[in-house]
Structure 1
Amino acid sequence: METNHTDKNLLAQGLKLMLITLALMFLGPILLYIAFSNPEKPLYYPLLIAGIASCVCAIYFAFKGINKIMDSMFNKK
């Protein structure tokens, strides 16, 4: 008889990744809004690049976090 237990360390890692995702999900659109509201300023391109990179990283960390959480619950080794 098999008993399935959640790997708490792996779950904590997944939740940390989801917290990073949450921060990046707010940071990315804020940076993009600031960049698009001031296209004539000299910081337009750096803010635009940072905003797009934050949005892409948010998507990446979301997939990694969900994957770690699922691995912790279903004992994928």
Structure 2
Amino acid sequence: MKHTDKDMLFKGLKYLAGALPLSFIGPVVLFSSFKNQENVWFIPVMIFALLAMAAAVFLMFKGIRTVMKALFD
């Protein structure tokens, strides 16, 4: 009988824990950048926000994939 790989499960949960703050920081910073479009830092802040949101999606995908692999492989 197969058992859950606990090390891989915790690794997947770490990915999901890393994605959680990024999923809040990204949209907040993006909204803030659009409110200050006349500022010199508009483009760099917007790029940072988009990268944070992309990283959140990537880490969520990787975390869920790792957790599923730990449970069912």
Using the size of structure 2 for normalisation, the TM-score is: 0.96
Bigger radius of gyration among the two: 1
**Structure 2 spans left out of the alignment, 5+ residues:** none
Cα distance between partner residues in 1 of 2:60 and 2:44: 24
Secondary structure of 2:38's match?
coil
| RMSD after superposition | 0.7
**AA matched with 1:21:** A
Query: Identity, % of aligned pairs?
Result: 36
2:32 to 31, 34, 39: 34
Matching residue of 1:17: 15
What are the equivalent positions in structure 2 for 1:1-77 lying under 5 Å apart? 3-75=1-73
Cα distance between partner residues in 2 of 1:26 and 1:64: 18
Using the size of structure 1 for normalisation, the TM-score is: 0.91
Q: Count residues with an aligned counterpart.
A: 73
